[in-house]
Chain A
């Protein structure tokens, strides 16, 4: 029920779009609770090249499991504040958070795209608009509420990421419990933060700290979101590129649907992980502590004492 209230607040700005926002909210809430299996194609056109994937999605009771269509070796389970990555049958990374703030100021208006047919099923199309610019096209299955198609756009109306179901089965899938891992990150919510409250329409909703030395803040504009980390040690980023922005030099890595930036400041390592389109990156990064060489002594000190 809370999600219903939250999304209504999120998306309802103008009376003309309020009815559509409510309708979309109800569909998405139904989508959270629905049970189904699907295959989804993800394709993202990033500044560093195309990132794509074909995944299998199984959802039961709000828990969503993502796996490869090729191998059973890697699985991701997420939902209701829990996240776990399994490789070879065992959990290799997991985290659990509870309590969450929601965005207070609505940024998106919802336009009705009308009734459509998707995979031979009745569906409804919606357009999410921020600052007068279309930012996402959603197609929602009428029966289940599942988002069967989501296309996110840059400010120039170019496609950033496309996600499309290529199959959908509404039978209840079987989800096995993953073998628990040894380490579970349980970040605790903290009140204070030196990070800005708002960046380019992204509101800092909450911040966390855990025993591993991670501190991070979660930002959302109501649809896109990112987390800003203060990391205890250097971050290892596979297949990364070095990019120069006005605010400095960053290590950047795109995967299908997500971007990661890593940099160092005089006070430690920082990283940004999120799903925001590339045109939003420079303004967001510029508002964060800029990259800065920590100096030889600080590197040596961190190497010795973390």
Chain B
């Protein structure tokens, strides 16, 4: 089975002919992979559309002072693909970046305790029990 993946973005952009649209819908009804691709692209587009619109400060781009074109009003395959790539890169970076470990009290105590044990005053008068105290 061939997968008309190039038609999916065009379909979402409303750029298919009636015949192409019918062909794609028939294919989607029988193809889980393309249906999944369609849903994924839709989610990415929704995520991009939910981002706030920011206006550039005046003067940074002279042309932008005359006409501000919101991203969501742009149509076309390349804008969607570019946005999808940006979101995908961020998502992949978040997935492959190791979860930063939190620092525990034991981590701090071990270092403080090691250094304090070199202190001339170290001894029973300075020992801190490794148990939580009571109220």
Q: Is A19 part of the binding interface, using a Cβ–Cβ cutoff of 8 Å?
A: no
| Contacts across chains A and B counted by CB atoms under 8 Å | 208
Q: How far is the CA of A74 from the CA of B113 in the complex (A)?
A: 16
Q: Residue on B with the closest CB to A239?
A: B132
Within 8 A of A (CB), among B33-92: none
Knowing A64-B123, A234-B102 are in contact, say whether A257-B109 is a contact too (CB < 8 A).
no
The residues of B that contact A147 with a CB separation of less than 8 Å are 123-125
Contact A235 B129 (CB under 8 A): no
Within 8 A of A (CB), among B88-106: 93-94, 97, 100-106
Contact B129 A257 (CB under 8 A): yes
Contact B107 A93 (CB under 8 A): yes
The residues of B that contact A220 with a CB separation of less than 8 Å are 119
Knowing A66-B130, A305-B97 are in contact, say whether A97-B123 is a contact too (CB < 8 A).
no
Contact A233 B100 (CB under 8 A): yes
The residues of B that contact A35 with a CB separation of less than 8 Å are none
Q: Is A277 part of the binding interface, using a Cβ–Cβ cutoff of 8 Å?
A: no
Q: Is A199 part of the binding interface, using a Cβ–Cβ cutoff of 8 Å?
A: no
Knowing A81-B118, A229-B108 are in contact, say whether A52-B126 is a contact too (CB < 8 A).
no
The residues of B that contact A165 with a CB separation of less than 8 Å are 124
Chain A interface mostly: strand
Contact A214 B129 (CB under 8 A): no
Within 8 A of B (CB), among A54-86: 55, 57, 64, 66, 68, 74-76, 78-85
Q: Is A109 part of the binding interface, using a Cβ–Cβ cutoff of 8 Å?
A: no
Within 8 A of B (CB), among A25-50: 28, 31-32, 38, 40, 42, 44, 49-50
The residues of B that contact A253 with a CB separation of less than 8 Å are 105
Contact A185 B117 (CB under 8 A): no
The interface on chain A, measured as residues whose beta carbon lies within 8 A of the other chain's beta carbons, has a size of 90
Contact A306 B115 (CB under 8 A): no
Knowing A82-B114, A95-B111 are in contact, say whether A254-B133 is a contact too (CB < 8 A).
yes
Contact A85 B130 (CB under 8 A): yes
Q: Is B1 part of the binding interface, using a Cβ–Cβ cutoff of 8 Å?
A: no
Contact B103 A236 (CB under 8 A): yes
The residues of A that contact B117 with a CB separation of less than 8 Å are 64, 78-83
Knowing A55-B129, A304-B93 are in contact, say whether A260-B105 is a contact too (CB < 8 A).
yes
Chain B interface mostly: loop
Q: How far is the CA of A303 from the CA of B113 in the complex (A)?
A: 28
Contact A214 B109 (CB under 8 A): no
Among B109, B115, B129, the residue within 8 A (CB) of A53 is B129
Among A97, A238, A302, the residue within 8 A (CB) of B115 is A97
The residues of A that contact B102 with a CB separation of less than 8 Å are 233-236
Q: How far is the CA of A274 from the CA of B111 in the complex (A)?
A: 11
Contact A214 B120 (CB under 8 A): no
Q: Is A275 part of the binding interface, using a Cβ–Cβ cutoff of 8 Å?
A: yes
Q: How far is the CA of A163 from the CA of B133 in the complex (A)?
A: 14
Contact A95 B97 (CB under 8 A): no
Q: Residue on B with the closest CB to A206?
A: B115
Among B94, B105, B110, B128, the residue within 8 A (CB) of A95 is B110
Contact A274 B120 (CB under 8 A): no
Closest 3 A-B residue pairs measured CB to CB? A51-B133, A150-B125, A83-B113
* A contact residues vs B (CB 8 Å cutoff): 3, 6-7, 10, 28, 31-32, 38, 40, 42, 44, 49-53, 55, 57, 64, 66, 68, 74-76, 78-85, 92-97, 100, 102, 136, 138, 146-148, 150, 163, 165, 185, 187, 206, 208, 210, 212, 214, 216, 218, 220, 222-223, 225-227, 229, 231-239, 253-258, 260, 269, 271, 273-275, 302-306
